[in-house]
Every structure is written in C-alpha cells, then in structure tokens.
Structure 1
Amino acid sequence: MDFDKRIDTLDYLRGFALMGIILVNIIPMLSMPLPVPHTINASYWRFLYLFVEGRFYTIFTFLFGVGFYLFITRAEAKGRNGYVLFLRRMIALFIIGYVHVQYLPGEALTIYAVCGILIMPFYKANKMVNLIFGIAMLIVLGIFSFKLFMVLPLMLLGIAAGQFHVFEQLAKSRNQIAIFTSIMLVLSIIGVIYQYQYAPVVFGDGADANFQKTKRFLNIGITIGPLVSAFYAGLLIWLLQLTLIQKLLSPLKSYGRMALTNYVSQTAFVLLAGKVLHLFNTITYIQSLFLCLAILGVQLIFSQVWLQFFRFGPLEWIWRIVTYFEIPPLRK
C-alpha cells in the first residue's frame, strides 16, 4: 500500500472514531439528567456504556500514536528535525485544547499534547519493546480501570503499529485482518455479556447497592473497551479493502481529514443548540442521539464540500502554520 492510501485508511478510522465520541461528550455538555428506569432512555444509556463509551476514544488515541510515528518519519525523510516540529505541534495542540477545555471539561486535546511529549523518546525504541510494553501496560491499567492513564499505552501501540508498517500492508493482509477481527469479536461478545450482568435498572437513587453495581458496570466497560475498539477498527479496515465500501464511506474520510476542526466544532454545535433550544438539564438521552445525528450530518457534508476547494481544514491549517513556521497555501 502506498503512503497516500495508508493515510486514507487512517482518515476513515479517525472519522469513525469522532462519530462515536460526540455521542458520549454531549452528556456532560448539556448536563443531561439520568434516565427514568424502564424507559427507552434507560435502554439507550446502557447501550452507550456497552458499545460507545471507552470504545471510540480508544481508537482515536491509538491513531494519535500512529500519526506521531508517521509525522516524525516524514519530517526526517525530508531532512527536517522531526522532534522539534512535533514539539511545536504539541504546544499548539495544548493551546487549542486549553481553550476547548473551558467549554468541554475533560476534553482530550490537552491530555494528548502532554502525552505526545512523553512518548517522544519511544520513537526510536525497539518495536517489540513498544508492542509488549504497550500491551502489558494497557492490560494492567485496564484491569484497574485507570481510564486516563490508558492513553499512554494506546499511543505506544500506535507507534508500534507504525514501526511494524501495519497500515502499509493492509492490502496483503486481508486474511490476517479477518482472523484478528474474528478473535476480537469473540472476546468482545464475552466481555459485553459479562458487563451487561451489572447493568443498572435504577439510576442515581442513592442506594449503595445500586451505586456499587453501576460503578462495577462502568469499570468493566473501561476494562474491555480496547477489545471492542479493536473489533470495530478491524471490521472497518477489513471492509475498506472493498472499493465499493471506500466510495460509500468517502464522507467519513473527509470527516477524518478534518478531525481537529470537527472535534472542536462538535462542542460548538452542541453548546449552540443547547443555548438556542434551551436543552440544558432538560434534553433526554434519545433526544441527544437525534441532535448528534443532525450535527454529524452537517459536519459530514461540510467536510466533503470544504475539501473540494481547500487542502486542509481551518484548524488543521492553523496547526500547520504553528508547526512549520510557514504559511502553506490553503486553497487547492
């Protein structure tokens, strides 16, 4: 697979991850009240924490590690100091994230920027060391449900994927992708069934038994998150080997190419809708799903139209200016 093709695959995955992230991020942004038991909202709450929460950010974080490796590799190949450029890139990302976190507490960009600096020494580490250390750390942190700290091993695994040239060999690895995806499917089914045993019926009533059960439900979700994420990513990668699927999902590729712009604008759209439509503390879980679908529809169309005329998304363009200390042409 040539380099451009490899980037395409990563963009599809980034777009896919972003589509899941908004479904969870909207909850704290609009201060959504807990659902009433035995309602469709309660069912959707359980669906989110079984199949969405901790699944899509994991893919996004892994892709950050892949992107880190590719960025420095490309910079070094052009005779530039990849470490200096990447450091500037992370400083710019931290600044964007610092502004963003004022509107979305717990957002990921500042964490990614700090972790991005921490993983820089691993670029030249042995690929087997990155792979084994990343898997071991992810398993340990997953068992103890330390979600925040799982960012580092996920990035390390992304670096290892870059070192092993995983995304350069996808076209030759359809059978391996199918086997990997099948294994992850079986493990995911086992994990989700186990997690579902602790799914709460009563939400936030203050009873200790219900609180402990809900806590256990959420913690198991964090533990098995990487397995479900790996299945999602493997399935999408396998499907993308088909030209028809690539064409059908082409808006997803454009969406992923403008990942930074779309991630930040998700927050802007949600908060604007909350303000204009008076949704804070009143919107239900199912209503939030429809709002997310509307926002995603607008963003998917906008991304595809924008990239017909411009080379980068708006924030991506600014990011490149700060990274390279030069102004690249925006228009095609």
Structure 2
Amino acid sequence: METGARVVTLDILRGVAVMGILAMNIIGFSMPEPAYSNPAAYGGSTGLDLAAWTFNFIFVDGRMRGLFSFLFGASLLLVIDRAEAKGEDPGAVHFRRMAWLLLFGLLHFWLIWWGDILAHYAMIGLVAFAFRHQPAGKLALYGIGFIAIETALMALTGARFIEAARDAASSETGSQAILRWEAMRSQLGPLPPAELDADLALHRGPYLPLVIDRLHNSTSLVNSLTFVGPETLGYMLMGMAGLKSGFLTGAWEAARYRRWATIGFAVATPSFGILAVLIIRSGFDPALVAALSLGATTPLRPIMIVALAALIILISGHGRAWSGLIAAVGRAAFTNYLATSMVMTTFFYGYGFGLYGRMGRAEVYLPVLAMWLLILVWSKLWLDHFRYGPLEWLWRSLARGAFQPMRRA
C-alpha cells in the first residue's frame, strides 16, 4: 500500500484480492458466523444458494485472503527496500507502519466489524520483518514450511471434530461427550435456537451492544495468531519471494506464467471440486466440514493462489481500461477494505437497514456487485486527482510523522 515507483501488477493483483475478499466476507456481514463455512447452518444450501457456496468453495474461499497476504508481504518488503535506499532506518519505518496498522485494525474490530484482518496482519508483519534479507528461494521454502505447520494444525482440528462426533454418537443422552459435541457442532453447523435468536437480535439491534460484544470478544484477535498465523506468515514470505523473483512484478516471460497457471489450476480445481462433492453428499455434516474445509484445503490453497496470480498477470495488459480501474482499486485497497466494512455493516446491521439474516446466500451478492461498481468508479476518479487513497494518505502520514503531499502535481 506504500507508493513510490508503482509496480502496476501489484496494484492489479491487490485490486482483485480486495474485491474478492468481499465475496467471502459478505457472508460474515450478512448472517451468523457458522454460515461462512457451512451453507446448511444458515442462508440456504439448495439451488442458487448451493451454487454460490460451491463456486466460492472451489475458487474464492481463502484464495483471495491468501493473495492479499502475498501482496502484503511484497509491499512490506518494498517499503523496507525503499527505506534502505533512502538511507532511513528500515526497522523504524516498518515498525511504525505496523504499529499504526495495528491501531487501525483494533478500531475496525471494535467499532465496525468482528472480521478484521488488519490487526492480524500487523502482528504477523512484525515477524515477517526478520526474513527480509533472505533470498527468494529460501523465502519460498520458509513459506512452504509455515503452510505445512498450518496444515498439521488444521488436520488436528478436523480430527478433533470427527472424534467428538464419533464419541457423541456412541454415548448416552446427556453425557459429557454429547454436550462437548453440541458445543463444537455449533461452530460449523446450525446454531441452537436460543443462540441463533440471540445472534439475530444482537445484529438487528442498536449499535452500542455490538461494540460491547466485540470488546468482550477481543481475545479472538490473539486466537487468530495460533489458528491461522502460520498460514498468514507463510503467505507473506511467499509474497516476498514473489517480489524478489520477479513473479509478482510481471517480469517473467508469458510462457512461464502460462505454465504455472495451467499446472496450478489443473491440480487445485479438481481437488477442490472433489472436496466440495464430498461435503455436499454428507449433507454438510459439521465434522466432515471441519475435516475437509479446514484440513484438506490448506495445502491446496497456495497452489491455486499462485495460479490465480499468474493468470491475472498474464491477462492484465497495462493498456487495457479494466486493468486501470482494478489497479486504482488496489492502490486504494486500505480505504476500500475499511469502506466496504462500513457500508456493508450499515446495510445489514440494525443501526442501518437491518437486513442481517434476512437474505439468502445467493441474494447477498447483489450488494456485493453494487459495492464492486462503487469502488471501481470512485477509486479511479479519486486517484486521477490525488496521489493516495484517503486512508493510505493518513497511514503514510502517521507512520512518517509528517503530512504527506496529497494532490497530484
């Protein structure tokens, strides 16, 4: 998100990622949390609703967040390299940026939406700094290593769900095993009626109780470090490798991008398709959802992320009008990410239009399309006159301790 000599491919990829993230976050904005992983939990699991879940499961879920993490790592390294080139202290520059990003993330979490990722990025970004001098090959290997750790963690989580379901099935009514499974099942399955009613009432109600609830659940920010922290760090290191190797800057020959995209999609797409079929055939059994959507997808995601990046770079000729629009979205990704949260929570929550839990899974993509159009139009118009998006300018000014020039010369 830092500017200087723009790397256009990074902007285009970042624009695709921030728009794609909304395609999954919309479920978190519009309905109870278990619906994110399990359409049978809420929002509909037949017809167009099932089609929407299936498409997102195969092509979107985790891939856009992963691509955004790749680009965060690349941008982080760009800022460090530019600070060193100017004779500045790269550590001071980096840690100031991460400190301010952490504050932005906390405010986003507490005041706007529980699904914030900025605070998580800031904390993982502090660790990623230690790898800045590693060559591209080693960065890629470290990234694969952290994703292997994440795969093991998710596999253990899936196994824990399957074991709990099995124990409950063989236990007597009212036993501890059944109570344990009911508590776990509600994380990835339909909420018990009382919990569902409470969730709907909270999100359809006034603003202050939502803030209080998020303050009470602040520990989830720390929990995310252990739950998805290794994966996020792995993605950031892969992004740093992608920058150093020229992959993310568009420096490779077209045939090489074509080869990586072809192989990646050939491996990942049918694999995700098989997992989707297994989950659907199970009737979206929460234990199987945990085992397959958490554990089995983790090693496949980076394969498709790389394939997606290669494909986007391959087709994003710099002279095309749509590339310029998406690049503008990417240049203002910080602003667009937070603006999306403000618009969508206002649209769905009780202090706004109160549509939380009232739309089906397929229906919620109508406001997604409207938001995409909005950010495509405003980003280009704004950046035709200004150097940065509004929040990019604020973050840059705060991190540097001085107001940065805003208007274009």
Say yes or no: TM over 0.5.
Answer: yes
Q: Which amino acid aligns with 2:269?
A: I
Query: CA separation in 1, counterparts of 2:314 and 2:45?
Result: 38
Give the gaps of 5 or more residues in structure 1. Answer: 205-209
2:58–2:273 contact (8 Å) kept in structure 1: no
CA RMSD of aligned residues (A): 2.1
Residue in structure 1 matched with residue 376 of structure 2 by the alignment: 300
1:179 pairs with one of 259, 268, 278: 259
Query: CA separation in 1, counterparts of 2:20 and 2:251?
Result: 26
Summarize deviations over 1:189-241 as a string: whole Å, max 9, x none: 2322331232326767xxxxx2222223312333322222221111001112x
Q: Which amino acid aligns with 1:187?
A: V
Deviation at 1:41, TM superposition (A): 1.1
Deviation at 1:156, TM superposition (A): 1.0
1:228 corresponds to 2:304: yes
Residue in structure 2 matched with residue 207 of structure 1 by the alignment: none
Query: CA separation in 2, counterparts of 1:68 and 1:122?
Result: 11
1:53 corresponds to 2:134: no
Query: CA separation in 2, counterparts of 1:73 and 1:30?
Result: 40
Residue in structure 1 matched with residue 242 of structure 2 by the alignment: 161
Query: CA separation in 1, counterparts of 2:247 and 2:6?
Result: 9
1:13–1:233 contact (8 Å) kept in structure 2: yes
Deviation at 1:45, TM superposition (A): 1.9
Deviation at 1:144, TM superposition (A): 4.2
Residue in structure 2 matched with residue 237 of structure 1 by the alignment: 313
Summarize deviations over 1:43-82 as a string: whole Å, max 9, x none: 2122222221111000000111111111111111111112
Q: Which amino acid aligns with 1:14?
A: R
Query: CA separation in 1, counterparts of 2:6 and 2:384?
Result: 20
Residue in structure 2 matched with residue 252 of structure 1 by the alignment: 326
Give the structure-2-normalised TM-score: 0.74
2:50 pairs with one of 42, 46, 61: 42
Query: CA separation in 2, counterparts of 1:75 and 1:22?
Result: 32
1:35–1:45 contact (8 Å) kept in structure 2: no
2:261–2:311 contact (8 Å) kept in structure 1: yes
Query: CA separation in 1, counterparts of 2:338 and 2:88?
Result: 29
Query: CA separation in 1, counterparts of 2:252 and 2:138?
Result: 25
Deviation at 1:171, TM superposition (A): 4.5
1:263 corresponds to 2:263: no
- Percent of aligned positions that are identical: 26
1:200–1:214 contact (8 Å) kept in structure 2: no
SS of 1:285's equivalent? Answer: coil
Residue in structure 2 matched with residue 152 of structure 1 by the alignment: 233
Query: CA separation in 2, counterparts of 1:198 and 1:217?
Result: 9
Deviation at 1:172, TM superposition (A): 4.7
Higher Cα Rg: structure 1 or 2? 2
Residue in structure 2 matched with residue 278 of structure 1 by the alignment: 354
Residue in structure 2 matched with residue 137 of structure 1 by the alignment: 146
Query: CA separation in 2, counterparts of 1:172 and 1:221?
Result: 28
2:269 pairs with one of 189, 199, 202: 189
Query: CA separation in 2, counterparts of 1:183 and 1:85?
Result: 39
Quickly say closer, same or farther: Cα 1:295–1:250, change in 2 above 3 A.
same
Deviation at 1:113, TM superposition (A): 0.3
SS of 1:107's equivalent? Answer: coil
Residue in structure 2 matched with residue 211 of structure 1 by the alignment: 286
Residue in structure 2 matched with residue 10 of structure 1 by the alignment: 10
Quickly say closer, same or farther: Cα 1:197–1:172, change in 2 above 3 A.
closer
1:41–1:286 contact (8 Å) kept in structure 2: yes
Query: CA separation in 1, counterparts of 2:374 and 2:318?
Result: 25
Quickly say closer, same or farther: Cα 1:118–1:243, change in 2 above 3 A.
closer
Deviation at 1:179, TM superposition (A): 1.1
SS of 1:125's equivalent? Answer: coil
Query: CA separation in 1, counterparts of 2:360 and 2:381?
Result: 32
Deviation at 1:305, TM superposition (A): 0.7
Deviation at 1:5, TM superposition (A): 7.6
- 149-158 or 135-144, larger mean C-alpha shift: 135-144
1:82 corresponds to 2:90: yes
Between the two proteins, the alignment pairs up a number of residues equal to 322
Residue in structure 2 matched with residue 72 of structure 1 by the alignment: 80
2:120 pairs with one of 111, 115, 133: 111
